A and B are shown apart, each in its own frame.
Chain A
Amino acid sequence: DAGVTQSPTHLIKTRGQQVTLRCSPKSGHDTVSWYQQALGQGPQFIFQYYEEEERQRGNFPDRFSGHQFPNYSSELNVNALLLGDSALYLCASSPMGKSGGYTFGSGTRLTVV
């Protein structure tokens, strides 16, 4: 089992552009959460998807949106990129109902220039 896989591992975007990050959850997991981790900080919750719906949302602007597909994989979209969006974006999966015992991916490092 490859666990949680994220793509791409790194990318560089220009301010104002849009970006899509992808995540495949661990086999048997149906819930996907996204976190933003700025340098030197702990991960910050963006949102969580279950049954293709956003179930929980953190304190992030509407520029951050997501999607979950029938196979439980997920995408994170960020529009109108700002320099401050530069961070490591982590995807975490779990079976629904198992709060907090997440399996994390290795993340996508986004740099906005």
Chain B
Amino acid sequence: AQRVTQPEKLLSVFKGAPVELKCNYSYSGSPELFWYVQYSRQRLQLLLRHISRESIKGFTADLNKGETSFHLKKPFAQEEDSAMYYCALGAAGGTSYGKLTFGQGTILTVHP
């Protein structure tokens, strides 16, 4: 079974502070991990995926298979980062290919 846990429902930081949104997953196969973001009144959109190892809007995330984690980090938060963030797990091939399992989401608020 695939499971994603985002332990923090709400996270508040001040502008310029570092931010880390936690994500832990459970999956016996080869995982693909993603972060999706939903800004106010906008649709859900892909922020980054572990396989591309890129930095988007200053955010990075490293897949740690030993700890089964995929935490999202940014060294200096900006007010425009305030949004709902979802961690999602997919299967790299196999019978579950194409299905995404989402966590419950973390609402990030960056205060001025």
Q: Residues of A with Cβ closer than 8 Å to B?
A: 31, 33, 35, 40-45, 48, 50, 55-56, 58, 90, 99-107
> CB distance B45 to A100 under 8 Å?
no
Contact pick for A56, options B32, B36, B88, B99, CB 8 Å: B99
B64 to chain A, nearest CB (A): 18
A58 to B102, CA, bound (A): 12
> CB distance B46 to A42 under 8 Å?
no
Q: What are 14 A-B residue pairs whose CB atoms fall within 8 Å in the complex?
A: A33-B98, A33-B100, A35-B100, A41-B104, A41-B105, A43-B44, A43-B86, A43-B100, A45-B100, A56-B98, A90-B44, A99-B97, A100-B100, A104-B36
Confirm or deny: B96 has a beta carbon within 8 angstroms of a beta carbon on chain A: yes
Confirm or deny: B56 has a beta carbon within 8 angstroms of a beta carbon on chain A: no
Per-residue CB contact flags for chain B residues 75-112 toward chain A (1 = under 8 Å, else 0) read: 00000000000101011100011111111110000000
> CB distance B102 to A48 under 8 Å?
no
> CB distance B43 to A102 under 8 Å?
no
> CB distance B49 to A42 under 8 Å?
no
- 15 additional contacts, CB 8 Å, given A31-B98, A40-B104, A56-B97? A33-B99, A35-B100, A42-B86, A42-B102, A42-B104, A43-B86, A45-B99, A45-B100, A48-B98, A56-B98, A99-B92, A100-B32, A101-B34, A102-B100, A104-B45
A90 to B44, CA, bound (A): 9
Please, which residues of chain B bring their CB within 8 A of the CB of A102?
46, 100
A100 to B86, CA, bound (A): 13
A105 to B45, CA, bound (A): 9
Please, which residues of chain B bring their CB within 8 A of the CB of A45?
99-101
A106 to B40, CA, bound (A): 12
